[in-house]
Amino acid sequence: MDNVFEALNERGFIKQVTNAEQVTRLLAEKQVTYYVGFDPTASSLHVGSLVPIMAMAHLQRAGHKPIAIIGGGTTMIGDPTDKTEMRPMLSKEQISANGKGILAQLQRYLNLDNTLVNAGNSQTPSRVGGFFNNADWLLSINYIEFLRDIGKHFRVNEMIRAEGYKQRLERELGLSFLEFNYQLLQAYDYLYLFREYGCRLQLGGDDQWGNILAGVDLVRRIEAERVHAVTFPLLTTASGAKMGKTAGGAVWLDAERTSPYEFYQYWINVDDRDVSRFLAYFTFLPIDEVRRLGSLEDEAIREAKEVLAYETTRLAHGKAEADKARTASRAAFGGGNLDEAEMPTSVIAAERLNAGIPIMALFHEVGLANSRSEARRLVQQGGAYINEKQCRSIDMVVGTDLLEDNALLLRAGKKRYHRIVLKEN
RNA sequence: GGGGGUAUGCUAGAGCGGUCAAAUAGGGCAGACUGUAAAUCUGUUGGCUAUGCCUACGGUGGUUCGAAUCCAUCUGCCCCCA
């Protein structure tokens, strides 16, 4: 097997490791079962989850066996290290529905079976991974047993020294007992997966370091076995923003929430300074190619961005969609003809247009403005276009006289398009 | 259980009883400049049938000609004591 750990490190995936040498050796010697936890609060993952996903994919390609966990059980508690957002309580049904959506997305990157897989031994050659909801084993836990078997291995002194808890204790926020237990449950996950599936490596965001280590310790104490932890650097964009957020909210992997074209555009529009890092993280291009593209400067960097956008879109949505998105993007910004098929389109009844629609209403209706007032501002400030002609009059009424090929092309600002076609009846 | 504090727009955070749709910063949007980048500059940023009207400053009820601003009460959060 290749030296995956080295490869991951070279691509920037590694922030902390329990023991780099041992992990390198472990991954070189035999097939390793490893796991990553995902948050089941939404039915789709967003680009922020792409770091762990790509890391998992690299490992699987190198012959190792992934397990993805959704934290249906742990979500019911709420991770105190993520104190910015209150997590909503989700029903079991909701969580498993979300799990299905997440699984479908993971399967684009990983070979995962949704039933498990070679229970209990990592010796089998199968590389097919597993996908579980930790609620399956956490919900049935008996409190007294848990305290006695698991709880006794945790020293409160140590726990409150951990950064995540420490901050909460020092700040005014306080920490509920419920949250204080989060770490135990996550540690128990690791123990469970070690016992059942021989899992020996857990990966996660760097904010999870403490929680993952708790699991490593627990396995050592109870099973007297050495298992490992690897964390990824927390990704922010060069401008300091959280990865994957745009004006419209998160960039989702689900094509329903974020169209392949928007997805593609997200990557095209990344900050110059992020390009080479992102190529290493989010594509499978050989590292030499990543370096070559990353070294491009000024205008030439657009080539690198195009590769980044194309590759990421291809991974998330497939080649056909990526091709379409690239064509559409080139057309929209390269001066060529716009590809109508790629644009958000709505249908409008012919008689409505005959009667005339106020421009503000039109922009609002198709979603290029969130309200009529916003549409009004857009027009007043010169950001509204119909068929590439700027419209600055808020009194303008759009009628059939503006039709071109029986359609209207609306544009808001530089990048947002919407096409309207007429429906005769 | 006792005492104290706080609650404002997307976020942070000002706000004398009238001139408050609410300072300021960040964010967002639009324009200029560009490379579909960054930085910079400018405008804008509750809604609407729009020189006016409606809805908003945790909930409810008061005082007042008039309340985001005062009082009561409820709720949430925080701090101190137990």
Q: How many CB atoms lie within 10 A of CB A374?
A: 15
Could you tell me the distance in Å between the CA of residue A139 and the C1' of nucleotide B36? 49
Full pLDDT tens readout for chain A, 425 residues: 458 899 999 999 999 999 999 999 999 988 999 999 988 877 888 888 899 999 999 999 999 999 999 887 776 665 555 443 444 556 677 788 888 889 999 999 999 875 544 444 445 556 678 898 888 898 889 989 998 999 999 888 777 776 666 666 655 455 667 777 888 889 999 999 999 999 999 999 888 888 899 999 999 999 999 999 999 987 766 665 566 555 456 788 888 888 888 899 889 988 888 899 999 999 999 999 999 998 888 888 989 999 999 999 999 999 999 998 898 888 877 655 566 656 778 888 888 888 888 999 999 988 888 899 999 999 999 899 998 888 888 888 888 888 888 888 888 988 888 888 888 76
The answer to whether A330 CB is within 7 Å of strand B is yes
CA of A91 to C1' of B73 (A): 35
Euclidean distance between CA atoms A30 and A319, whole angstroms: 33
Distances (CA, A) of A260 to A189, A266, A342: 35, 10, 9
pLDDT confidence of residue A58: 95
Q: Is the ipTM of this complex over 0.95?
A: no
First and final CA of chain A: distance in angstroms?
Answer: 64
Q: How far is the CA of A119 from the C1' of B35 (A)?
A: 53
Count of C-beta atoms within a 10 Å radius of residue A180? 17
Any idea which nucleotide's C1' is nearest the CA of A329?
A: B36
> What whole-number distance in Å separates Cα of residue A344 and Cα of residue A332?
13
A376 CB neighbours strand B below 7 A: yes
Which residue has the least CA–C1' distance to nucleotide B39? A239
Element at A50 (helix H, strand E): helix A50-61
**CA atoms of A159 and A334, how far apart (whole Å):** 56
For A94, residues 6+ apart whose C-beta sits below 8 A from its C-beta are: none
Instruction: Report pLDDT for A229.
Output: 95
| Rounded distance in angstroms from the CA atom of residue A269 to the C1' atom of nucleotide B16 | 48
Asked whether residue A383's C-beta has any atom of DNA/RNA strand B within 7 A, the reply is: yes
CA(A371)–C1'(B74) in Å?
A: 35
Contact A138, A188 (CB under 8 A): yes
Q: Is the Cβ atom of A268 within 7 Å of strand B at any atom?
A: yes
Spatial contact of A59 and A4, defined as CB atoms under 8 Å apart:
yes
Domains and CATH numbers, chain A: 4-232 (3.40.50.620), 245-342 (1.10.240.10), 345-423 (3.10.290.10)
| Strand B bases contacted by the protein (CB, 7 Å) | 28-31, 34-39, 43-50, 77-79
